A and B are shown apart, each in its own frame.
Chain A
């Protein structure tokens, strides 16, 4: 089954390109550490998922590129083509000239409707190229105007036109100290709208990835390219082919569907966080060895303590003892920083994956009480190593990971809204105070739900 990637705005296009780069270089690499047959299956599954067969010599990414100004798309198209190992379909893009001005209302209410037909035609074309459409993967930032506003509109249209397809939105959470002054407004509007049409929101926070670049990757002068490459690696570690059952005979054919099934049992809970370890500079890879027990132990504690990377984990945080507290949704017995999960997915890639003991992730005390722990945890595996890492593991978690960031953004946006600052910029394009209030209400509801997990 194939996934159509939709790259929205500057951020979406820049990241999208890095994702395809990473996937391609992983597949072409000779570091599979597995049998030739395995490697071939992996290669074929990946190709089918992300690339289409065309008359050209290089695989063509299954993607639609959308932006309201031309510079980034032009750059994206030409850089990909220059790589020589893959490229985009140069007709599969839409851009305008004037940009969205960081204005969600402009993206959603003006550009969206105006260009709906052309954009959805491109989606349709890509969908038709797939033997079986597995769903849409959209990449966007929340802070700007195009990715956020037009992205929300496009997601809605995708839901309308493809009612039975899965839609996963990959969202970039902006730096806390700002890239865009109205980023909190744009974020609130985006999240509340996406919650209605998307199946799940997979989040990457710029602050977190920046820290990984600084501390794990030892990059002195961090650029957006560095940040995007880490993000691409983490996304690749989730979406490259895996086996979903213990004795699976073929690579999963429905990655997005499987993801939704395992992680999103309830429509009120759609926020997914992602952790991937180990992560280090490429030239250190050769000198490092890891054991699965060590990796799993770290990953589990990262989940419990809501740590962003494998350094600086707070090992004091423990899950509460089951049976010793009154079961209630407003549990005051749980330690304050314990991160409660709704559902978790661990992905293992590389050497000796079948020997890994994941019992610690099945511990019921990690999870909220209203789901059967058997259903709350799943594991996907492949012996095929990913992106030169002999062993690599990822955790996709539907938990309280994003509760604090969400609360922060809503708080700051509300604070600004109370003074009515910048509202005239939105009403100019048809988003009224009421629309803001609706969005705030929807998100407070989500915050409340996650708080009471």
Chain B
């Protein structure tokens, strides 16, 4: 069954590119015989291109030509063109691309209202075509950033569209939130406008913050350079830039950061693609981690960190991997789940980890975590036998935790700072379909969300009175 990623905007496409490279690498490592199997079919079609032209899908047998199931959308051509000239050029064909030339000018309204309207039919048509090739479409992934114009605006437009056209298919969104020092001044506007769409139309959102990715990348560099791990960085290391050196670049090492997000998606879908003694599917993630429709923001962490780089490290203590999953500096957003309230938690283990290891660590770590009163023992667990390439095991933790609140509060504060002065509003309001109340509704939606989290926080540590049970007359 199929997961269909949509990469929208510059960030989305850069992450997407990384993702497909990693996916191909992962399947190549597992699939020794070159046979097109169920696992591969989640992300790739097998196309017979010998006769030229479109090529028909081959559902079984030897791998002929793998095409990614995806739509790449950008209102500028630069990034997508680079992908088409790079090593992935044969993995996509032109029918999967929707591009324009002028970009969205970091303006959500341009992305959502202007381009949305303009490209709606085109997107629907390509979406339908792509879906036709899938015999069971389970889930859509949107990969985008919140701070710009295309990813943010057009990305959330696509989200809406997906709900209209395929209401039963789950919509997972991986959103990169802007940091405080973001150089796009209007990023708070774009993000808040996009948040409203995420609130209302996404099934699950995995928020990511660049600051966290940056910190993690640095941590990995330190680990390697300190020599403590006794490790060596391989030639084909994913951590290094394409220049081939292991130095930390002056600018942000986006390659390495995108790598992390790509790994997140890979790990998230691993149990759906590969076998294990306790499978965890994407629809199960949504079912178990979303207790109320609006509270669908999941904080994620990937441990051990060295699995995010191509380093040769002897496997470290297993229990450390579990401990790290809950520590604040391993989360992909600036958040501290240990000191906030858990509504639900999922652990997906890959590789050589046994049931008893998993259970032992849950017992060990549980006492230091705060769970909401109606879900004191709520854990969702999964065991996938196939580890990430080159490693023996890894862990993905997903938490529905009130620690997302600070991110949203900061966002709201930055938004209000601009909005109070009506700074840059005219760029938005002159777009057809944009009105003042788009802004007021959006900030209201965000405020309501923050309030829901606050109410839950208020219950933390309070006295627990279990509701009286039903009385039966004998």
Interface residues of A (CB under 8 A from B): 10, 14, 69-72, 75, 96-103, 145, 175-182, 210, 213-214, 219-225, 227, 410-412, 414-416, 418-422, 424-425, 440-441, 444-445, 448, 452
Q: Which of A71, A225, A415, A448 is close to B279, meaning CB atoms less than 8 Å apart?
A: A71
28 contacting pairs across A/B (C-beta < 8 A):
A14-B277, A69-B279, A98-B1, A101-B281, A101-B287, A102-B283, A102-B284, A102-B287, A145-B284, A176-B377, A177-B359, A177-B379, A178-B377, A180-B284, A181-B289, A182-B287, A214-B356, A221-B356, A224-B355, A227-B355, A414-B469, A416-B374, A416-B375, A421-B343, A421-B374, A424-B293, A444-B469, A445-B472
Select the residue from B135, B136, B277 with max chain A CB neighbours within 10 A: B277
Task: Determine the chain A residues whose CB is within 8 A of the CB of B357 once the complex forms.
Answer: 221
Q: B345 to chain A: closest CB distance in Å?
A: 8
Inter-chain contact B277/A223, CB cutoff 8 Å: yes
Inter-chain contact B379/A179, CB cutoff 8 Å: yes
Beyond known contacts A96-B136, A102-B284: 11 more, CB 8 A cutoff: A70-B38, A99-B279, A101-B284, A145-B287, A177-B359, A210-B359, A412-B376, A414-B469, A415-B467, A421-B292, A441-B470
Once bound together, how far apart are the Cα atoms of A69 and B275, in whole Å?
A: 11
Q: B222 to chain A: closest CB distance in Å?
A: 32
Task: Determine the chain B residues whose CB is within 8 A of the CB of A179 once the complex forms.
Answer: 278, 379-381
Q: A411 to chain B: closest CB distance in Å?
A: 7
Inter-chain contact A448/B379, CB cutoff 8 Å: no
Inter-chain contact B374/A415, CB cutoff 8 Å: yes
A224 (CB) vs chain B CBs: closest residue: B277
Task: Determine the chain A residues whose CB is within 8 A of the CB of B292 once the complex forms.
Answer: 420-421, 424
Once bound together, how far apart are the Cα atoms of A71 and B288, in whole Å?
A: 21
Q: A335 to chain B: closest CB distance in Å?
A: 22
Once bound together, how far apart are the Cα atoms of A20 and B95, in whole Å?
A: 50
Inter-chain contact A444/B288, CB cutoff 8 Å: no
Inter-chain contact A98/B472, CB cutoff 8 Å: no
Inter-chain contact B291/A422, CB cutoff 8 Å: yes
Q: Which of A181, A425, A448 is close to B378, meaning CB atoms less than 8 Å apart?
A: A181
Select the residue from B357, B363, B472 with max chain A CB neighbours within 10 A: B472
Instruction: With A182-B288, A416-B374 as known contacts, state yes or no: A71 contacts B278, CB within 8 Å.
Output: no
Once bound together, how far apart are the Cα atoms of A101 and B1, in whole Å?
A: 13
Inter-chain contact B275/A71, CB cutoff 8 Å: yes
Q: B246 to chain A: closest CB distance in Å?
A: 36
CB-CB nearest 8 A-B residue pairs: A101-B283, A97-B136, A222-B356, A178-B379, A421-B291, A418-B467, A181-B378, A224-B277
B470 (CB) vs chain A CBs: closest residue: A444
Q: Which of A97, A412, A420 is close to B1, meaning CB atoms less than 8 Å apart?
A: A97
Inter-chain contact B373/A415, CB cutoff 8 Å: yes
| Interface flag for B290 (CB, 8 Å) | yes
Once bound together, how far apart are the Cα atoms of A82 and B217, in whole Å?
A: 46
Q: A179 to chain B: closest CB distance in Å?
A: 5
Once bound together, how far apart are the Cα atoms of A175 and B383, in whole Å?
A: 15
Once bound together, how far apart are the Cα atoms of A13 and B376, in whole Å?
A: 30
Once bound together, how far apart are the Cα atoms of A182 and B288, in whole Å?
A: 6
Inter-chain contact B135/A97, CB cutoff 8 Å: yes
Task: Determine the chain B residues whose CB is within 8 A of the CB of A219 once the complex forms.
Answer: 356
Task: Determine the chain B residues whose CB is within 8 A of the CB of A97 once the complex forms.
Answer: 1, 135-136, 138
Once bound together, how far apart are the Cα atoms of A97 and B471, in whole Å?
A: 42
Once bound together, how far apart are the Cα atoms of A72 and B278, in whole Å?
A: 10
| Interface flag for B4 (CB, 8 Å) | no
Instruction: With A69-B1, A178-B380, A214-B356 as known contacts, state yes or no: A411 contacts B469, CB within 8 Å.
Output: yes
Task: Determine the chain B residues whose CB is within 8 A of the CB of A225 once the complex forms.
Answer: 277
Instruction: With A179-B278, A224-B355 as known contacts, state yes or no: A99 contacts B472, CB within 8 Å.
Output: no
Interface residues of B (CB under 8 A from A): 1, 38, 135-136, 138, 275, 277-279, 281, 283-284, 286-293, 343-344, 346, 354-357, 359, 362-363, 366, 373-381, 383, 466-467, 469-472, 474
Q: A431 to chain B: closest CB distance in Å?
A: 13
Task: Determine the chain B residues whose CB is within 8 A of the CB of A227 once the complex forms.
Answer: 355
Q: Which of A145, A181, A221, A416 is close to B379, meaning CB atoms less than 8 Å apart?
A: A181
Once bound together, how far apart are the Cα atoms of A182 and B279, in whole Å?
A: 16
Inter-chain contact A181/B470, CB cutoff 8 Å: no
B169 (CB) vs chain A CBs: closest residue: A98
Q: A367 to chain B: closest CB distance in Å?
A: 20
Once bound together, how far apart are the Cα atoms of A4 and B470, in whole Å?
A: 38
Q: A217 to chain B: closest CB distance in Å?
A: 12
Task: Determine the chain A residues whose CB is within 8 A of the CB of B469 once the complex forms.
Answer: 410-411, 414, 444
Task: Determine the chain B residues whose CB is within 8 A of the CB of A103 once the complex forms.
Answer: 283, 287
Once bound together, how far apart are the Cα atoms of A226 and B279, in whole Å?
A: 17
Inter-chain contact B38/A71, CB cutoff 8 Å: yes
Inter-chain contact A101/B379, CB cutoff 8 Å: no
Once bound together, how far apart are the Cα atoms of A5 and B363, in whole Å?
A: 35
Task: Determine the chain B residues whose CB is within 8 A of the CB of A222 once the complex forms.
Answer: 354-356
Once bound together, how far apart are the Cα atoms of A412 and B467, in whole Å?
A: 10
Inter-chain contact A414/B355, CB cutoff 8 Å: no
Inter-chain contact B472/A441, CB cutoff 8 Å: yes
B466 (CB) vs chain A CBs: closest residue: A415
Q: Which of B286, B290, B474 is close to A452, meaning CB atoms less than 8 Å apart?
A: B474
Once bound together, how far apart are the Cα atoms of A421 and B135, in whole Å?
A: 33
Once bound together, how far apart are the Cα atoms of A14 and B357, in whole Å?
A: 20
Task: Determine the chain B residues whose CB is within 8 A of the CB of A14 once the complex forms.
Answer: 277
Select the residue from A14, A69, A179, A448 with max chain B CB neighbours within 10 A: A179
Q: A145 to chain B: closest CB distance in Å?
A: 8
Task: Determine the chain A residues whose CB is within 8 A of the CB of B470 once the complex forms.
Answer: 414, 440-441, 444
Once bound together, how far apart are the Cα atoms of A1 and B288, in whole Å?
A: 42
Inter-chain contact B474/A448, CB cutoff 8 Å: yes
B459 (CB) vs chain A CBs: closest residue: A419
Inter-chain contact A99/B281, CB cutoff 8 Å: yes
Q: Which of A181, A412, A420 is close to B380, meaning CB atoms less than 8 Å apart?
A: A181
A414 (CB) vs chain B CBs: closest residue: B469
Once bound together, how far apart are the Cα atoms of A132 and B445, in whole Å?
A: 64
Inter-chain contact B374/A180, CB cutoff 8 Å: no
Instruction: With A101-B286, A177-B377, A448-B474 as known contacts, state yes or no: A221 contacts B275, CB within 8 Å.
Output: no
Task: Determine the chain B residues whose CB is within 8 A of the CB of A224 once the complex forms.
Answer: 277-278, 355, 383
Q: A175 to chain B: closest CB distance in Å?
A: 7
Once bound together, how far apart are the Cα atoms of A14 and B278, in whole Å?
A: 10
Q: A230 to chain B: closest CB distance in Å?
A: 13
Instruction: With A221-B357, A418-B467, A425-B290 as known contacts, state yes or no: A75 contacts B275, CB within 8 Å.
Output: yes
Q: A98 to chain B: closest CB distance in Å?
A: 5
Q: B319 to chain A: closest CB distance in Å?
A: 13
Task: Determine the chain A residues whose CB is within 8 A of the CB of B289 once the complex forms.
Answer: 181
Instruction: With A98-B136, A98-B283 as known contacts, state yes or no: A181 contacts B355, CB within 8 Å.
Output: no
Task: Determine the chain B residues whose CB is within 8 A of the CB of A445 once the complex forms.
Answer: 472
Once bound together, how far apart are the Cα atoms of A10 and B382, in whole Å?
A: 12
Task: Determine the chain B residues whose CB is within 8 A of the CB of A181 once the complex forms.
Answer: 288-289, 344, 346, 375, 378-380
B295 (CB) vs chain A CBs: closest residue: A421
A14 (CB) vs chain B CBs: closest residue: B277
Once bound together, how far apart are the Cα atoms of A421 and B289, in whole Å?
A: 10
Inter-chain contact A99/B375, CB cutoff 8 Å: no
Once bound together, how far apart are the Cα atoms of A145 and B355, in whole Å?
A: 20
Once bound together, how far apart are the Cα atoms of A210 and B354, in whole Å?
A: 12
Once bound together, how far apart are the Cα atoms of A389 and B385, in whole Å?
A: 33
Task: Determine the chain A residues whose CB is within 8 A of the CB of B291 once the complex forms.
Answer: 421-422
Q: Which of A98, A145, A422 is close to B138, meaning CB atoms less than 8 Å apart?
A: A98
Q: B390 to chain A: closest CB distance in Å?
A: 22
Q: A420 to chain B: closest CB distance in Å?
A: 8
Task: Determine the chain B residues whose CB is within 8 A of the CB of A214 once the complex forms.
Answer: 356
Inter-chain contact A444/B38, CB cutoff 8 Å: no
Inter-chain contact B288/A180, CB cutoff 8 Å: yes
Task: Determine the chain A residues whose CB is within 8 A of the CB of B343 once the complex forms.
Answer: 421
Once bound together, how far apart are the Cα atoms of A410 and B467, in whole Å?
A: 12
A207 (CB) vs chain B CBs: closest residue: B359
Once bound together, how far apart are the Cα atoms of A237 and B466, in whole Å?
A: 41
Task: Determine the chain B residues whose CB is within 8 A of the CB of A424 once the complex forms.
Answer: 292-293
Inter-chain contact A177/B363, CB cutoff 8 Å: yes
Task: Determine the chain B residues whose CB is within 8 A of the CB of A421 once the complex forms.
Answer: 291-292, 343, 374-375
